[in-house]
Chains A and B, each alone.
Chain A
Amino acid sequence: MAIPIAYNLRNLVVRRTTTLMTALGIALTVAVLVIDLALANGLKKAFRASGNPLHVLVMRKSSQSELGSALTREVYQDLKSEAGIARNHAGELMASLEMVTVISLPSIDSPKGMNVTLRGLTPVGIEMRDVKIGQGRWFAAGQREIVVGASVARRYPRAQLGKRLRFGRGEWQIVGVMTAGESAVDSEIWGDLNQITADYNRQNGLNSTLIRAADATTVPALIHKLDDDRRLNVSAVRETDYYERLTAAGAPLEFLGIFVSLIMAVGSSFAAMNTMYAAVARRSPEIATLRVLGFSRASILVSFFLESLLLSLVGGAVGCLLAFPLNGVTTGIGSFVTFSEIAFQFRVTPAAMMPGILFALVVGAFGGVFPARMAARKEILTALREV
Chain B
Amino acid sequence: MFRDLPLVVKSALRNRRRSGLTVASIAVSFCLLGVLTAMYRVLFYGGDTTPGQALRLITHHKVSLTQDLPVAYERKIEQVPGVKAVTRLRWFGGTYKDPGDPRNRFGQFAIEPSQLFRVHPEFKIPEEQKVAFQKEKTACVASQPLAAKLGWKLGERITLVNDNIPATLELKLEGIFEDPGQIPGPNMIVYFNWDYLNDSLPASSDFRSMIQQFHLEASSKDEVPRVAEAIDASFENSPYPTETESEQAFQLSFVSFLGNLKLFLAAICGAVTFTVLLVSANTLSMSVRERIREIGVLKTLGFTRSAILGIILGEAGLIALAGGAIGCILAAGLCTLVRQNPGFAFFLKALSLTPAVVALNMTAALLVGCLSALVPALRAARTPITASLRYTG
User: Measuring CB to CB, which residues of chain A are less than 8 angstroms from any residue of chain B?
Assistant: 17-18, 21-22, 24-25, 28-29, 31-32, 60, 62, 67-68, 70, 101-104, 109-110, 112, 114-115, 166-167, 169, 200-202, 205, 233, 251-253, 256, 260, 263-264, 266-268, 270-271, 273-275, 277-278, 282, 331-336, 339, 341, 387
A85 → chain B closest CB, angstroms: 25
**B36 and A253 contacting across the interface, CB-CB below 8 Å:** no
B105 → chain A closest CB, angstroms: 11
**B163 and A25 contacting across the interface, CB-CB below 8 Å:** no
B17 interface contact, C-beta 8 A: yes
Taking a contact as CB atoms closer than 8 A, the residue among A31, A115, A263, A331 that contacts B64 in the complex is A115
Q: Show 18 residue pairs from A and B whose CB-CB distance is below 8 angstroms, ordered by the A residue.
A: A22-B278, A25-B278, A28-B271, A32-B268, A68-B93, A101-B67, A104-B63, A109-B260, A110-B256, A252-B345, A271-B22, A271-B282, A274-B279, A274-B283, A275-B286, A278-B18, A282-B393, A341-B257
CB contacts under 8 Å to A, within B205-249, are 206, 239
Known: A167-B63, A267-B28, A278-B18. A253 touches B259 (CB 8 A): yes
**B66 and A264 contacting across the interface, CB-CB below 8 Å:** no
A308 → chain B closest CB, angstroms: 14
**B28 and A266 contacting across the interface, CB-CB below 8 Å:** yes
Interface of B is mostly: helix
Taking a contact as CB atoms closer than 8 A, the residue among B22, B258, B268, B276 that contacts A333 in the complex is B258
A-B contact count (CB 8 A): 148
Taking a contact as CB atoms closer than 8 A, the residue among B18, B65, B163 that contacts A274 in the complex is B18
**A18 and B258 contacting across the interface, CB-CB below 8 Å:** no
B344 interface contact, C-beta 8 A: yes
**B28 and A112 contacting across the interface, CB-CB below 8 Å:** no
Q: Hey, which chain B residues are within 8 Å of A110, CB to CB?
A: 256
Task: List 9 other contacts, CB 8 Å, given A260-B32, A264-B275, A339-B66.
Answer: A60-B164, A70-B164, A109-B260, A251-B344, A253-B264, A267-B279, A271-B25, A333-B258, A333-B259
**A278 and B286 contacting across the interface, CB-CB below 8 Å:** yes
Q: Hey, which chain A residues are within 8 Å of B285, CB to CB?
A: 17-18
CB contacts under 8 Å to A, within B259-305, are 259-261, 264, 268, 271-272, 274-276, 278-279, 281-283, 285-286
User: How would residues 92 to 128 of chain B score, 1 for a CB under 8 Å from any chain A CB and 0 otherwise?
Assistant: 0101000110000000000000000000000000000
- Residue in A closest to B283 when the chains form the complex, CB atoms: A274
Q: Hey, which chain A residues are within 8 Å of B206, CB to CB?
A: 201-202, 205
**B279 and A25 contacting across the interface, CB-CB below 8 Å:** yes
A256 → chain B closest CB, angstroms: 8
B21 interface contact, C-beta 8 A: yes
Q: Hey, which chain B residues are within 8 Å of A200, CB to CB?
A: 67
Interchain residue pairs A-B with the least CB separation, the first 10:
A334-B257, A270-B25, A333-B259, A267-B28, A271-B279, A21-B282, A263-B32, A70-B164, A267-B25, A267-B29
Q: Hey, which chain B residues are within 8 Å of A60, CB to CB?
A: 163-164
**A277 and B31 contacting across the interface, CB-CB below 8 Å:** no
For chain B, the count of residues having a C-beta within 8 Å of the partner chain is: 52
**A334 and B259 contacting across the interface, CB-CB below 8 Å:** yes
- Bound-state Cα–Cα, A266 to B256, Å: 30
Q: Hey, which chain B residues are within 8 Å of A115, CB to CB?
A: 64
**B31 and A263 contacting across the interface, CB-CB below 8 Å:** yes
Taking a contact as CB atoms closer than 8 A, the residue among A22, A24, A270 that contacts B24 in the complex is A270
- Bound-state Cα–Cα, A232 to B17, Å: 71
B392 interface contact, C-beta 8 A: yes
